[in-house]
Amino acid sequence: MDFTIRKPTHLLALLGLLLSLFLFVIAPVLSLFYPSQIPSVYTTSMTPLQKEFLQIFLLFFQLFFVFLGMIFVPILWYKLVNHLTLREVFARINLRLSHIDQAVLWGIIALITAFALTITIGLLYTFATGVNTEKLSNIPDLQKLFSIPALYLLVIIQPFCEEFFFRGFLLEKITKISNVPIAIVSTALLFGLSHLSYTYAYTAYVAVVLGLIFGLVVVKTKNLFSSVFAHTILNITSLTLYFFGKSFGM
């Protein structure tokens, strides 16, 4: 194992990883004990230009911390602990353009499977609890902060960062110290916990299932782009269907 507690650079990499795990996994779990609604940051006294500037700042702030914690921190670990070049980092996490057609094909299969299972879980959850899963969506909360174009930008960029972290870095590291099945299940559970920030257990259940699907397809194709493709298109489609439904009063 490359990591050693005696090296300051390794400790720096470990600190970065722990902060990322706290921000994206532990903090969402803690949010269950302190649930709160996202307040609207826009006031009636703001001019359209002020609202636009604030929205751009919030979007940049959100994407900056996602990039910092999910992409920069893993690369920092690979650089300081494993001493890899950027090309070697991409190879280690299976981020490659070779056989991209096969990756997209399996990404489509993963996407169809994800849609089918998401719908099934939603129906079962509604039947078991009597709560319509549409009421558990986090999109209304996000709309308090972002416009529709900003939301689309968010769901296009963030999936890449999440896949880089969960199905790239963590999947590779956990596989090294255990085996592939444990790594797939572990990263799926961590991915599910990260979605508890929406304070709805339903979103975590769905995220765990999606994490399993994405993990399996990455292992199958040995290409991270398969899960990136499936995750991104799933988010875009889900957001579009939500707005389409709302436009018809559904």
C-alpha dihedral sign at 142, 145, 148, 151 = negative
Q: Could you tell me if residue 84 is inside a domain? A: yes
Contact (CB, 8 A) for 159 and 232: yes
Q: Could you tell me if residue 66 is inside a domain? A: yes
| pLDDT classification of 231: cutoffs 50, 70, 90 | very high
| pLDDT classification of 6: cutoffs 50, 70, 90 | confident
The DSSP secondary structure of 61-124, one letter per residue, reads: HHHHHHHIIIIIHHHHHHHHTS---HHHHHHHTT---TTHHHHHHHHHHHHHHHHHHHHHHHHH
What is the tens place of the pLDDT at every residue in 154-187? 999 999 999 999 999 999 999 999 999 999 999 9
Secondary structure of residue 199 in the 3-state scheme: coil
Residues in the chain: 250
- At 222 the pLDDT is 96
| pLDDT classification of 100: cutoffs 50, 70, 90 | very high
> What is the separation of C-alpha 232 from the centre of its chain, rounded to a whole number of angstroms?
10
- Distance, CA of 122 to CA of 119 (rounded, Å): 5
Q: Could you tell me if residue 194 is inside a domain? A: yes
What is the chain's mean pLDDT, rounded?
90
- List the Cα angle 148/139/189 in 5-degree steps: 130
Q: How many CB atoms lie within 10 A of CB 174?
A: 18
Cα→Cα distances 218→48, 187, 222, Å: 44, 12, 5
Q: Could you tell me if residue 26 is inside a domain? A: yes
Say yes or no to pLDDT of 234 above 70. yes
| pLDDT classification of 16: cutoffs 50, 70, 90 | very high
Q: Could you tell me if residue 106 is inside a domain? A: yes
Domain limits for position 200: 8-247
Residue 213: CB partners within 8 Å, gap ≥ 6? 110, 113, 114, 117, 230
Q: Could you tell me if residue 2 is inside a domain? A: no
What is the tens place of the pLDDT at every residue in 68-99? 999 999 999 999 999 999 999 999 999 999 99
The DSSP secondary structure of 185-221, one letter per residue, reads: HHHHHHHHHHGGGGS-HHHHHHHHHHHHHHHHHHHHH
Number of domain units in the chain: 1
- Distance, CA of 229 to CA of 23 (rounded, Å): 25
